[in-house]
Amino acid sequence: MSVPQEFVAVLDFGSQYAQLIARRIREHEVYAEILPHTTPAAQLRGGRAPIGIVLTGGPASVYAEGAPRCDPEILRLGVPVLAICYGMQLACLLLGGDVRPAAGREFGRTRARVLDAADLLEGVPAETTVWMSHGDAVDRVGADFRPLAATDNCPLAAVRHRSAPVYGVQFHPEVTHTVEGGRIFRNFLYRICRARGEWRTASLIERAVAGIREQVKDAGVVCGLSGGVDSAVTALLGHRAVGERLASIFVDNGLLRVGEREAVEKTFREALGLRLRTVDAAERFLEALRGVTDPEEKRTRIGHLFVDVFAEEARGIPGARFLAQGTLYPDVIESVSAHGGPTARIKTHHNVGGLPAALPFGLVEPLRDLFKDEVRRMGTALGLPEDLVWRHPFPGPGLAVRVLGEVTRERLATVRAADAIVREEIRRAGLERHVAQAFAVLLPVASVGVMGDGRTYEAAVAVRAVTTDDFMTADWARLPAEVLATISSRIINEVRGVNRVVYDVSTKPPSTIEWE
């Protein structure tokens, strides 16, 4: 695969945000590559030298035994370094500073004052909001460093070395809550690293297509379509890479939303002209989920059965040895520890962690390093219809993870009906593009209500609507009260067996977007 000349090396110390950093850099049209923190300085010199190096955050404390360190020579290469959070603490330590547990731990939004608006913080207002997430902080930096910004708890929120082009920020410029994060990356890339900016969406497409060709050679590929933008882009990339050797299959697992199967068939057959086979496997999925209440168990069973169904279907396709999936980066990071970093496992997304080891296919995952908005841009560039590009994401395990407790045909019908109302009212209010996801969750509790003159004892439905750019962090959507009122009264009136509707006002983290 061709590697672009101009790139930034992101040295990963086990941050949840390493890929987010890479994507922020790509957003500014510079290619970024994530490398292990153990990468020797020699590798970053000479022919494939990066124009800049980012040291990520990480869960360790720099003084803890076995805390990951980088080759100290990296800081003396003369290549500009942006060291974030743990990375900053490490860089300061390696260059003679003093790191210790901060007087107050800082998590979340914090006000920062800019002390020096030269290069890195150029154009950043004197007071700005940054996102902090640390226990330790740099205490003293010695005469070699200059403070650039401070917060109430952290007098060294941003620093720069006086002679080497080494910058440190204690906050996280890569998350959207750091209001000026984009500008800080832009300053780093264009003012400090002198980037030319040659990386475009077209490069992502070319790279993905070349990657698929190289991986599958002359074998056939089966693509699992879910109806969402991720699998649609995967199918189109696959089609571009191997043409008619790509066969698309849509599994109706019975866990879909209202009208979903029909919409998928119409779009892919009629609008995009792909060869598409629909498999009706609803009964088998329901059977596999019978009596299961544990969320991880649900995901694993669905994942296994999904692969079984695929394997059966694919037998009929000569030469098919690969399965193409639209796994995105956020699915990967929250399931396994990517790049060997010590990232914590949160939940198994079914198209990643739930796959059995003896998978009869090689996996083709061209979107594995990408975020939703990057995939959407690719979709537009590949000619996907806008409504598909902007469709809200829907989890692989479908409504099964929105029916808390046992998944039965009846409970699925309940959540499906409530979900249709939520989405319809969001659309009617013109809010579809303002929320990233909106859905209903059937809770495993009954509560008392009164209908007419009688007492009811029925299920509760939670409504969840979130805003987010990247699905790694999310906020609950401030839906207008009238919209919530309509959703609530329609669900209670129209969906049998529900007498209470609640609105979920939790952010991610610490909650997740889905309830399971």
CB under 6 A: which stretch of 18-26, 207-215, 316-324, 506-514 binds ligand XMP? Answer: 506-514
Residue 44: φ, ψ to 5°: -100, 15
17 binds ligand XMP (CB under 6 A): no
* Choice among 6, 106, 174, 180 that is catalytic: 174
334 binds ligand XMP (CB under 6 A): yes
Give the tokens for residue 475.
Answer: 């906020």
Which residues, in sequence order, are bridge partners of residue 27? none
* Choice among 172, 239, 339, 349 that is catalytic: 172
Binds ligand XMP by CB under 6 A, chosen from 170, 351, 473, 499: 351
> Measuring CA to CA, which residue among 104, 79, 101, 81 is closest to residue 91?
81
Cβ distance to ligand XMP smaller for residue 100 or 347:
347
Cβ distance to ligand XMP smaller for residue 265 or 504:
504
471 binds ligand XMP (CB under 6 A): yes
CB 506, min distance to ligand XMP, A: 11
d(CA 278, CA 264): 10
Q: Burial letters for 25-47: b for 16+ Cβ neighbours within 10 Å, e otherwise?
A: bbbbbbbbebbebebebeebeee
Cβ distance to ligand XMP smaller for residue 1 or 336:
336
CB 228, min distance to ligand XMP, A: 8
d(CA 55, CA 510): 25
Binds ligand XMP by CB under 6 A, chosen from 160, 350, 377, 402: 350
CB 5, min distance to ligand XMP, A: 34
304 binds ligand XMP (CB under 6 A): no
Helix or strand (DSSP H, E) at 94: helix 86-94
Give the tokens for residue 360.
Answer: 């009869």
> Measuring CA to CA, which residue among 137, 135, 131 is closest to residue 175?
131
CB 430, min distance to ligand XMP, A: 21
User: Strand (E) positions, 275-316?
Assistant: 276-280
Pairing state between β 81-84 and 52-55: parallel
> Measuring CA to CA, which residue among 3, 9, 77, 81 is closest to residue 38?
9
188 binds ligand XMP (CB under 6 A): no
470 binds ligand XMP (CB under 6 A): no
- Decide if 174 is catalytic: yes
512 binds ligand XMP (CB under 6 A): yes
Residue 409: Cβ within 10 Å count: 11
295 binds ligand XMP (CB under 6 A): no
CB 509, min distance to ligand XMP, A: 9
* Choice among 70, 85, 154, 193 that is catalytic: 85
The CA radius of gyration of the chain, in Å to the nearest whole number, is 25
d(CA 440, CA 418): 6
CB under 6 A: which stretch of 91-99, 117-125, 347-355, 405-413 binds ligand XMP? Answer: 347-355
Cβ distance to ligand XMP smaller for residue 13 or 471:
471
Upper half-sphere CA count for residue 424 (Cβ side, 13 Å): 14
CB 167, min distance to ligand XMP, A: 31
57 binds ligand XMP (CB under 6 A): no
d(CA 284, CA 297): 16
CB 245, min distance to ligand XMP, A: 25
Binds ligand XMP by CB under 6 A, chosen from 87, 169, 395, 425: 395
Residue 85: φ, ψ to 5°: 50, -110
User: Residue 372 contacts by C-beta under 8 Å, 6 or more apart in sequence?
Assistant: 229, 230, 328, 330, 393, 470, 471
d(CA 502, CA 493): 15
Dihedral sign for Cα 243, 247, 252, 255, please: negative
Side chain identity at residue 18, one-letter code: A
CB 328, min distance to ligand XMP, A: 7
Binds ligand XMP by CB under 6 A, chosen from 37, 134, 349, 416: 349
Cβ distance to ligand XMP smaller for residue 469 or 514:
514
**Residue pair 473/487 in contact by the 8 Å Cβ criterion:** no
Q: What binding mask, one character per residue, do residues 205-234 give for ligand XMP by CB under 6 A, x or -?
A: ------------------------------
CB under 6 A: which stretch of 281-289, 383-391, 490-498, 507-515 binds ligand XMP? Answer: 507-515
CB under 6 A: which stretch of 73-81, 232-240, 327-335, 362-370 binds ligand XMP? Answer: 327-335
d(CA 516, CA 513): 9
Binds ligand XMP by CB under 6 A, chosen from 220, 295, 385, 393: 393
**Residue pair 217/162 in contact by the 8 Å Cβ criterion:** no
Cβ distance to ligand XMP smaller for residue 301 or 350:
350
Cβ distance to ligand XMP smaller for residue 82 or 438:
438
Size of the site for ligand XMP (CB under 6 A): 18
513 binds ligand XMP (CB under 6 A): yes
CB under 6 A: which stretch of 16-24, 110-118, 391-399, 420-428 binds ligand XMP? Answer: 391-399
Assess whether the previous peptide bond of 510 is cis (omega < 30° from 0).
yes
504 binds ligand XMP (CB under 6 A): no
Give the tokens for residue 462.
Answer: 């939670």
Dihedral sign for Cα 234, 307, 289, 511, please: negative
Residue 122: φ, ψ to 5°: -60, 130
122 binds ligand XMP (CB under 6 A): no
Catalytic residue annotation: 85, 172, 174
Which parts of this chain interact with ligand XMP (CB under 6 A)? 299, 330-331, 334, 347, 349-351, 393, 395-397, 437, 471, 508, 512-514
